[in-house]
Amino acid sequence: MLIGGIQKFSLINYPKKAAAVIFTQGCSFFCHYCHNPELVLKDEFNTPLNIEDIFSFLLTRQGKLDAVVISGGEPTLQKNLIDFIKRVKKLNFLVKLDTNGVNPKIIKDLISQNLIDYIAMDLKAPLDKYPKVTNVDLSSKRIEESIKIIMSSNIDYEFRSTLVKNLHEKEDIEEMAKSIKDAKLYILQEFVPKVTLNPAYSKETAFSDEDMLNMQNKALRHVKKCFIR
């Protein structure tokens, strides 16, 4: 496990739970708007944190925190992810996985072994427009497979999309919502211009509140719940 950082306390990363958040290094995508280039670009990686130090910290948080969120980067690229999560579960924490959906096999293994309690998967774009947002020429089949695995599981989940004016058309939202038809929860995230992986995107403007509301209404034609975050 290459872990680039830890947030020791968060009330916003796991719904209604107090959690620590662990950020893994490395990603399969290079989203223009990514706010964590230090977790994506190898040249910007910090020295990884010591795993035993992380478990020593988690031991002190038993009974004080409910959950551990594994985020990134893209956690499913980590070779020892399953063993790492098994150790976290032995400490009786709930586990949430944040993923871009690139690795359906790992997602399936984690769910079938009861190792995760909540999963949040990014939906980057309509399936045929993924390369435009992620900068990677990847078959959308893996994304579709991850969606199916998550939606047919019994664990809590959300799909979420960061919407950026220069990358998404207002009309895209309906296609994106259709690709997760009947999903329990879809979160639309407003793009906040700040540090971005592609510096040209640090100045991109977000959609207006009115546009976001319109997109939320369109998404609601296809999913059960949709919120703007």
Selected binder of ligand SF4 within 1, 31, 177, 212 (CB under 6 A): 31
Cβ closest to ligand SF4, residue 71 vs residue 177: 71
Q: Does 27 bind ligand SF4 (CB under 6 A)?
A: yes
DSSP secondary structure, 149-195, as one string: HHHTSSSEEEEEEEE-TTT--TTHHHHHHHHTTT-S-EEEEE---SS
Cβ closest to ligand SF4, residue 65 vs residue 196: 196
For ligand SF4 (CB under 6 A), the number of binding residues is: 12
- Taking CA atoms, 185 is separated from 41, 105, 157, 159, 190, in Å, by 31, 22, 7, 6, 16
Per-residue x/- track, 151-190, ligand SF4 (CB under 6 A):
----------------------------------------
Region binding ligand SF4 by CB under 6 A among candidate stretches 22-30, 138-146, 166-174, 181-189 = 22-30
Residue with tokens 């989940």, as numbered in its chain: 157
DSSP secondary structure, 31-86, as one string: -TT-S-GGGT-GGGPPPPPPHHHHHHHHHHTBTTB-EEEEESS-GGG-TTHHHHHH
Helix, strand, coil content of the chain in percent (nearest 5): 35, 20, 45
Q: Does 34 bind ligand SF4 (CB under 6 A)?
A: yes
Min CB(194)–ligand SF4 separation in Å? 13
Separation CA 7–CA 39 (nearest Å):
14
Region binding ligand SF4 by CB under 6 A among candidate stretches 27-35, 85-93, 105-113, 198-206 = 27-35
Per-residue x/- track, 93-132, ligand SF4 (CB under 6 A):
-------x---------------------x----------
